[in-house]
C-alpha cells in the first residue's frame, strides 16, 4: 500500500489549520471546508465517530451563543420566544465552517498517520533534537499507562464518594497528585534505564526527505488552497 | 553507579573492564560493557513497539541497525512475531523479556538484573529464570539482586547478603551445594526469602454466616466483545480470607471491581445478606471496599489528617499505628512506601466495610512489608470482617488464606488452599 | 550560565511524563468545558476549564526547574493531545505553542532563578492572553469585543488558579 509520509501529513494538517484561522470571508471558508471536511469525515468516520458526534453537539452550544451575542440585523426566523436574525446565522455558519475545516484536516492526519513513524520522522526528517523526540515517545508510551491510572483513580473517587470528573481546583489537585506521584516514580527509573542504555552517546540518524506520488499530490493540493485563499482575500 | 545521575555520593573505587564508573568522564561508557534490567518493565520501556525498543539501544551505542539484527535479538527472547505490535499489548512476562532483549542486544559482558521476579506471575518468573540460565550457559556474567533467593540458588556461583548497606554473608558455589539446607536456614534467619513456603493450617469456617454471594456473574468492558467474567459464582463467609489466583489478565481484578459494585455485571446477581441488597446498594453503603494495587490511587486530600477525617466521623485511635501521629500534617505522597500502603489500609478500614478486596497487594514488597500486610489482614478478620485477595504471591496464599479460588479465562473454581499453592508453584518448580 | 544547562535523560523523561499527564488532563478538560458551557455559558466555562489547558508549563517548570521546560511542557502536552486526538485537533499544537511561549516568558523575567508558586501562577495567567487572541480568530464572529474582554479576564483568572494548583501539587508529591 502506498502511504503518505508522516511529515507531509503533519505539514498539511498544520497549514490547513492555520489557513482556517486566517480566513475571514465566507467564500474562503466554504472552499477550505469543501476540500477538507468531506475527505476527513470519510476517512475518520469509522474510527472516530465519537469525535464527530462531539463536534455536532458542540455546534448546538455555538448556535446558542451566536443567538445570545450576535443576534442582530434582519429577522430571518420568528419563533414565538426568540427571533433569529441574520447576524446570528452568518456568524454561526462562519465559525462552523472554520471548525469543520480544522476537524477535516485533523481527521485526515490522524487516520493516515502511524504514531511510531511520526516520532521517527520528527527526529530523522524534520531534524528535531533527539531530546524532543525521546521526550515525546516517553510521553506517548506513558499516556497508555496514565490512562489506566486515571481510570483507577476515578474508581476510587466514586468508591469514596467524590466526583468522577474534576470540576473544581480542589478536585484537580487531588487528581493531579496521584498521577504525578506515580508518573515521577516511573520517570526516575525510566530515566536511569535510558541513561544505562547509552542515551548520552546517541547520535541521531538523519535521513533525506523522500517524496512519493501521494506526497506531491497533497503538497499541490495545499499550495492550491493557499493560492485560492490569497485570491479570494 | 547511579551517583552521576541522582546527585548521590560514592566513595571507593570500581574497576569495570578497565573503566571507573564513578568517574563522570567514564560513566557514559558504562552501557557499552553492562546491560541492566530493572525491576518493573513499565518503568523501563520507552518506545512504541518492541522493534523500536531494541533499535533504540543499538542506535544509542552507534551500531548500524538492520532489520536482521533486530529480529535476531527478538527471536532470542521469543518475541519475533510481536516485533511491530504495540508494546502495551504485551503480557507482563513478554514485557520483561523485551527489557532483557533491549538491554543485551549489544552483547555486553556483564548483565545486572534488579529483582527480575517482582511484578511477574509464576509463569513469567519461570520464563525469566530460564532465560538467565541460558545466558549463564552462553558465558555471560550475571548479577541478580533479589528478595526471593530460592529460585536462583541452584544457579548461583557467588552469593552475598546485604543488610542496611553492610555485607552480612558471602558464599561460594561449593558451600551452597554441599550445605544447601544450612544455607537456606541462614538466609531465612537473615530475612531473605529462601525456603519453600509452608502452609499453616487454619480452622474451617463453614458454619459462619455468609457475608457475600455472587451468582453467575457475566461482565465485559463496553469497548470489547469478549466477556471477562463468564458465569462466576462465589460465596464468602464471615472471618474468611479468600484468595483468587490466576494468570495476569485472567480477570481477577475485574472480578473484585464487580464484587465491590464499581462495575455493574451484565448478568448475574450479588447478594449481601446483611443488607438484603443488590448491586447498586453494595457500593453506596461501602459494605464491600476495593483497595487498588497502588496505594497512591487511594488518596484524595493533601494531608494525612484530612484523609483520615474525611473517611469517618469517629475519632481516630492512634495507639494502633503510632507513626501516623507524627505525619498528620504531611502530604500522603511524602510518606515511605510502607507507610503509604498502611495508610491505604487505614482508609479502607475507616469506611467500615464488611469485606475488603485487595488487588495484588504484595507485588514488589519485601519480606518486612509482606509481614506487615499479613498481620493487618489477620487483625482485620479477627474483628469478624472478611477479606478477598487477588494475588499470584504464593506467600500470601500460604500465610493467610482460608479459602482459595483459581481464576482461569473468566471462570472461577473453588479449590483447597493446597491446590492453589501447587497451582502457583508448579511453573517455577520445573526449573529448580 | 543557566541557559547552557543540558537536559539529562531524567529531565527529558520528566518532560515526557508531564506531556502524558497533560494529554490525560487536557482530554478530560473538554468534558469540564462542555459541562461548564451547559451550566453557565461561555464565561463560566472558561473560568472552569481554561487554566487546565495552561497547566503543562507550570507543571514542567516547577518540576524540572530549567530554562525551556515551561515551553516544552505545554507544547509537548499539546502535541500528545493532538495525537490522541481530542476535539481541539491541530488547534492544540498552535495554542500549545503560543501558550507555552507566553508562560516561558514569565520564568525568563525571573531570570530562571525562581520556580515557586507565584511564578507558576503568573505563568498560567499570562498564557490566557495568546489563548484568547487565538480564540478571537476562531470565534471572533460570534463574540463581540466586550465579551472578548470578559473572556480574557476569565482565562487569566483561571490560568492563575490552575498554575498555583499545579505548583502546589508538584510540591506535595515530590519526595
Domain layout of chain C by residue ranges: 8-173
pLDDT for residue B432 is more than 70: no
Check C83 against A186: CB less than 8 A apart.
no
% chain A with pLDDT above 70: 99
In a domain, A124, yes or no: no
| φ, ψ for residue B388, nearest 5 deg | -125, 130
Distance between CA atoms of residues B301 and B278, nearest Å: 31
Query: Which C-chain residues 69-88 have CB contacts (< 8 A) with chain B?
Result: none
The packing angle between helices C9-53 and C69-83, to 10°, is: 70
- Please give the grid coordinates belonging to residue A125: 526528517
pLDDT value, residue B284: 55
> Cβ(B250)–Cβ(B410) under 8 Å?
yes
* Burial class for A226, CB neighbours closer than 10 Å (0-12, 13-18, 19+): middle
CA dihedral C59, C64, C67, C71 (to 10 degrees): -30
Find the distance separating the first CA and the last CA of chain C, reported in whole Å: 28
d(CA B414, CA B48) in angstroms, rounded, equals 39
Note the pLDDT of residue B9: 65
Distances (CA, A) of C111 to A115, C2, C14, C108: 36, 9, 22, 5
Question: What kind of fold does domain B210-287+353-429 have according to CATH?
Answer: Rossmann fold (3.40.50)
Q: Which range marks the domain in which residue A21 is found?
A: 6-119+208-232
User: Over the stretch B378-419, which tens digit does the pLDDT of each residue have?
Assistant: 999 998 899 999 998 888 888 899 889 999 988 999 998 888
Q: Which cell numbers hold the place of B46?
A: 520507552
A197 shares its domain with A217: no
Pick from C11, C164, C173 the residue to mutate for testing the B interface (most B CBs within 10 Å): C173
Per residue in A95-152, pLDDT (tens digit) is: 899 989 988 888 888 888 887 788 888 888 888 888 888 999 999 889 888 988 999 9
Gap between the Cα atoms of B428 and C63, Å rounded: 42
Minimum Cα–Cα distance from B300: chain C residue: C169
B29-56 b/e (C-beta count within 10 Å ≥ 16 → b): bbbbebbbbbbbbbbbbbbbbbbbbbbb
Does one domain contain both A107 and A14?
yes
Q: ipTM for the complex?
A: 0.87
Q: What is the pLDDT of residues B252-306, one digit of tens each?
A: 999 999 998 889 899 988 888 766 544 545 555 678 899 998 899 999 998 998 8
Partners of B159 in beta bridges: B171
Query: What's the gap in Å between the CA of B5 and the closest CA on chain C?
Result: 8
Print burial letters for B354-392: b (CB count within 10 Å at least 16), e (below 16): bbbbbbbbbbebbeebbeebbebbeebbeeebbbbbbbb
Do both A70 and A163 map to the same domain? no
As a whole number of angstroms, the distance between CA B268 and CA B217 comes to: 4
User: What pLDDT, on the 0 to 100 scale, is given for residue B35?
Assistant: 87
Is residue A125 in a domain?
no
Q: Has residue B198 got a pLDDT over 90?
A: no
Neighbours of B253 (CB within 10 A): 21
Task: Please tell me whether residues A114 and A171 are part of one structural domain.
Answer: no
Burial of A231 (0-12, 13-18, 19+ CB in 10 A): exposed
- Count the neighbouring beta carbons within 10 Å of the beta carbon of residue B227: 18
**Chain A contact partners (≥3 CB pairs within 8 A):** B, C
For residue A171 the three cell numbers come to: 478536585
The β-bridge relationship of strands B110-114 and B141-145 is parallel
Longest dimension (CA), chain B: 73
Q: Shortest CB distance from A197 goes to which of B6, B56, B311?
A: B56
Q: How far apart are the first and last CA of chain A?
A: 39
CATH class for the region spanning C8-173: mainly alpha
pLDDT in tens, A169-202: 998 999 999 999 999 989 988 988 888 888 888 8
Tell me which residues of chain C have a pLDDT lower than 70: 1-5, 175
- Cβ separation of A115 and B45 shorter than 8 Å? no
* H or E stretch covering B68: helix B67-76
Q: What are phi and psi of B264, to 5 degrees?
A: -90, 130
Identify the residue with better confidence: B163 or C17: C17
What residues in A contact B46, CB-CB < 8 Å? 134, 137-138, 141, 190, 193-194
For B3-145, give the CATH class: alpha beta
**Chain C CB within 8 Å of residue A62 CB:** yes
The pLDDT, as a whole number, for residue C2 is 35
- Of B5, B46, B302, which is closest to C172 when you measure between CB atoms? B302
Quote the distance between the C-alpha of residue B145 and its chain's center: 16
Cβ contact, residue pair A197, B57, below 8 Å: yes
Mean pLDDT (whole number) for B327-331: 88
Q: Is residue A177 part of a domain?
A: yes
* pLDDT, tens digit (0-9, with 9 covering 90-100), for B72-85: 888 888 888 888 88
Q: Do C172 and B5 touch (CB under 8 A)?
A: no
State the nearest Cα–Cα gap between C83 and chain A, in angstroms.
7
Tell me what pLDDT residue B8 has: 61
pTM given for the model: 0.86
d(CA B407, CA B424): 12
- Going by their DSSP bridges, the two strands B210-219 and B229-237 should be labelled as antiparallel
CB distance C143–A143 less than 8 Å? Answer: no
Residue with cell 499539546: C78
Is residue A172 located within the same domain as residue A224? Answer: no
| Residues of C with Cβ-Cβ distance to A143 under 8 angstroms | 20, 23-24, 80, 84
pLDDT averaged over chain B? 83
Which cell goes with A95? Answer: 465559525
pLDDT higher than 90, residue B148: no
The pLDDT of residue B229 is 93
More confident residue, B91 or B251: B251
SS3 for B143-176, per residue? EEECCEHHHCHHHCCEEEEEECCEEEEEEEHHHH
A117/B contact by beta carbon, under 8 A = no
Cβ contacts (< 8 Å) between B42 and chain A: which residues? Answer: 145, 186
**E-only strand ranges, chain A:** 75-79, 82-85
Q: Is the pLDDT of residue A231 over 90?
A: no
The runs of H, that is alpha helices, within C6-115 are: 9-53, 56-64, 69-83, 91-109
Grid cell locating B309: 477525617
B359, B289 Cβ separation under 8 angstroms: no
CA distance B266 to B218: 5
Position A79 scores a pLDDT of 77
Q: How far is the C-alpha of C39 from the C-alpha of C46, rounded, in Å?
A: 12
**Mean pLDDT value of segment B229-240:** 91
Task: Decide if A84 is inside a domain.
Answer: yes
- Total number of domains constituting chain A: 2
Question: What are the angstrom distances between the C-alpha of B91 and each of A64, A176, B87?
Answer: 49, 28, 9
With a CB cutoff of 8 Å and minimum separation 6, the contacts of B20 are B13, B14, B26
The secondary element (H helix, E strand) that includes residue A36 is helix A26-44
Question: Residue B116 carries which DSSP code?
Answer: T
Identify whether the C-beta of residue B263 lies closer than 8 Å to the C-beta of residue B209: no
Highest mean pLDDT among A199-208, B48-57, C52-61: C52-61
Same domain, A105 and A139: no
* Residue keyed to cell 488487588: B359
β-pair type (A82-85, A75-79): antiparallel
User: Helix (H, G, I), strand (E, B), or coil: what is residue B408?
Assistant: strand
In this prediction, residue C55 carries a pLDDT of 94
Task: Say what the pLDDT of residue B426 is.
Answer: 85
pLDDT in tens, A26-79: 888 898 999 998 988 888 887 777 778 878 888 888 888 888 887 877 777 777
DSSP 8-class letter at B201: P
Cβ neighbours of A194 in B, within 8 Å: 46
What pLDDT is recorded for position B202? 63
| Residue B354, C-beta contacts closer than 8 angstroms, at least 6 positions apart | B211, B212, B272, B274, B287, B288, B385, B386
Q: Indicate whether A108 and A169 sit together in one domain.
A: no
Amino acid at each position: 500500500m502506498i502511504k503518505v509520509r508522516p511529515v507531509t501529513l503533519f505539514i498539511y494538517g498544520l497549514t490547513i489549520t492555520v489557513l482556517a484561522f486566517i480566513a475571514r470571508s465566507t467564500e474562503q471558508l466554504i472552499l477550505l471546508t469543501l476540500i477538507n471536511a468531506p475527505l476527513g469525515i470519510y476517512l475518520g468516520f469509522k474510527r472516530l465517530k465519537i469525535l464527530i458526534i462531539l463536534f455536532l453537539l458542540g455546534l448546538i452550544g455555538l448556535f446558542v451563543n451566536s443567538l445570545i451575542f450576535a443576534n442582530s440585523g434582519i429577522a430571518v426566523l420568528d419563533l414565538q420566544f426568540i427571533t433569529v436574525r441574520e447576524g446570528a446565522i452568518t456568524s454561526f455558519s462562519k465559525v462552523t465552517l472554520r471548525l469543520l475545516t480544522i476537524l477535516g484536516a485533523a481527521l485526515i492526519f490522524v487516520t493516515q498517520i502511524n504514531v511510531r513513524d511520526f516520532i521517527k520522522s520528527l527526529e530523522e526528517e524534520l531534524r528535531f533534537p533527539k531530546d524532543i523526540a525521546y521526550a515525546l515517545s516517553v510521553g506517548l508510551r506513558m499516556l497508555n499507562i496514565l490512562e489506566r491510572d486515571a481510570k483507577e483513580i476515578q474508581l476510587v473517587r466514586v468508591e469514596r464518594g467524590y466526583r468522577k470528573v474534576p470540576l473544581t481546583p480542589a478536585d484537580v489537585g487531588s487528581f493531579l497528585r496521584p498521577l504525578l506521584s506515580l508518573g515521577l516514580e516511573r520517570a526516575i527509573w525510566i530515566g536511569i534505564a535510558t541513561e544505562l542504555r547509552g542515551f548520552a552517546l546517541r547520535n541521531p540518524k538523519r535521513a533525506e526527505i523522500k517524496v512519493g506520488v501521494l506526497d506531491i499530490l497533497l503538497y499541490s493540493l495545499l499550495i492550491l488552497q493557499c493560492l485560492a485563499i490569497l485570491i479570494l482575500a | 553507579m547511579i551517583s552521576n545521575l541522582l546527585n548521590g555520593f560514592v566513595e571507593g573505587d570500581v574497576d569495570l573492564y578497565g573503566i571507573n564508573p564513578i568517574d563522570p568522564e567514564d560513566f557514559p561508557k558504562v552501557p557499552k560493557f553492562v546491560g541492566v534490567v530493572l525491576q518493573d518493565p513499565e518503568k523501563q520501556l520507552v518506545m512504541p513497539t518492541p522493534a523500536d525498543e531494541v533499535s533504540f539501544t543499538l542506535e544509542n551505542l552507534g551500531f548500524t541497525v538492520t532489520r536482521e539484527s533486530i529480529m535476531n535479538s527478538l527471536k532470542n527472547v521469543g518475541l519475533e512475531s510481536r516485533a511491530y505490535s504495540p508494546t502495551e499489548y504485551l503480557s507482563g512476562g513478554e514485557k520483561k523479556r523485551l527489557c532483557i532483549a533491549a538491554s543485551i542486544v549489544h552483547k555486553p559482558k556483564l548483565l545486572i538484573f534488579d529483582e527480575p521476579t517482582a511484578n511477574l506471575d509464576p509463569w513469567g518468573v519461570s520464563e525469566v529464570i530460564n532465560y538467565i540460565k541460558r545466558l549463564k550457559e552462553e558465558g555471560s556474567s550475571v548479577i541478580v539482586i533479589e528478595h526471593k533467593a530460592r529460585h536462583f540458588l541452584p544457579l548461583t556461583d557467588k552469593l552475598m547478603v546485604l543488610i542496611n548497606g553492610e555485607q552480612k554473608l558471602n558464599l561460594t558455589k561449593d558451600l551452597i551445594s554441599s550445605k544447601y539446607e544450612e544455607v537456606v536456614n541462614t538466609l531465612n534467619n537473615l530475612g531473605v526469602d529462601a525456603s519453600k513456603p509452608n502452609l499453616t493450617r487454619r480452622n474451617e469456617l463453614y458454619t459462619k454466616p455468609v457475608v457475600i454471594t455472587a451468582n453467575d456473574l457475566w461482565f465485559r468492558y463496553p469497548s470489547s466483545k469478549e466477556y471477562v467474567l463468564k458465569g462466576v459464582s462465589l460465596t464468602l463467609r464471615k472471618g474468611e480470607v479468600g484468595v483468587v489466583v490466576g494468570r495476569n489478565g485472567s480477570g481477577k481484578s475485574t472480578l473484585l471491581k464487580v464484587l465491590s459494585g464499581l462495575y455493574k455485571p451484565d448478568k448475574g446477581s450479588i447478594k449481601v445478606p446483611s443488607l438484603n441488597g443488590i448491586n447498586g446498594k453494595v457500593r453506596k453503603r461501602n459494605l464491600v471496599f476495593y483497595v487498588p494495587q497502588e496505594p497512591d490511587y487511594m488518596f484524595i486530600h493533601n494531608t494525612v489528617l484530612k484523609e483520615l477525617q474525611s473517611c469517618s466521623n469517629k475519632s481516630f485511635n492512634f495507639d494502633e499505628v503510632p507513626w501516623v501521629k507524627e505525619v498528620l500534617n504531611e502530604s500522603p505522597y511524602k510518606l515511605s512506601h510502607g507507610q503509604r500502603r498502611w495508610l491505604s489500609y487505614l482508609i479502607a478500614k475507616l469506611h467500615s466495610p464488611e469485606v475488603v478486596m485487595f488487588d495484588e497487594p504484595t507485588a514488589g514488597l519485601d519480606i518486612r512489608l509482606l509481614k506487615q500486610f499479613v498481620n493487618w489482614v489477620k487483625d482485620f478478620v479477627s474483628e469478624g470482617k472478611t477479606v478477598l485477595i487477588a494475588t499470584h504471591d504464593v506467600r500470601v496464599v500460604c500465610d493467610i488464606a482460608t479459602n482459595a479460588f483459581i481464576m482461569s479465562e473468566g471462570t472461577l473454581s473453588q479449590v483447597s488452599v493446597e491446590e492453589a499453592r501447587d497451582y502457583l508453584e508448579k511453573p517455577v518448580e520445573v526449573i529448580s | 550560565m543557566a541557559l547552557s544547562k543540558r537536559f539529562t535523560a531524567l529531565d527529558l523523561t520528566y518532560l515526557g511524563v508531564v506531556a502524558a499527564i497533560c494529554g490525560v488532563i487536557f482530554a478530560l478538560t473538554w468534558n469540564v468545558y462542555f459541562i461548564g458551557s451547559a451550566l453557565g455559558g461561555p464565561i463560566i466555562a472558561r473560568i472552569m476549564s481554561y487554566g487546565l489547558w495552561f497547566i503543562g508549563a507550570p507543571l514542567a517548570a516547577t518540576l524540572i526547574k530549567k530554562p525551556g521546560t515551561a515551553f516544552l511542557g505545554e507544547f509537548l502536552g499539546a502535541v500528545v493531545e493532538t495525537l490522541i486526538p481530542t476535539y481541539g485537533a491541530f488547534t492544540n499544537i498552535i495554542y500549545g505553542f503560543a501558550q507555552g511561549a507566553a508562560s516561558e516568558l514569565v520564568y525568563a523575567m525571573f531570570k530562571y532563578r525562581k520556580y515557586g508558586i507565584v511564578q507558576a501562577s503568573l505563568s498560567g495567567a499570562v498564557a490566557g492572553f495568546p489563548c484568547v487572541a487565538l480564540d478571537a480568530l476562531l470565534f471572533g464572529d460570534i463574540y463581540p469585543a466586550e465579551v472578548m474582554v470578559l473572556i480574557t479576564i476569565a482565562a487569566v483568572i483561571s490560568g492563575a488558579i490552575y498554575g498555583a494548583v499545579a505548583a502546589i501539587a508538584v510540591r506535595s508529591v515530590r519526595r
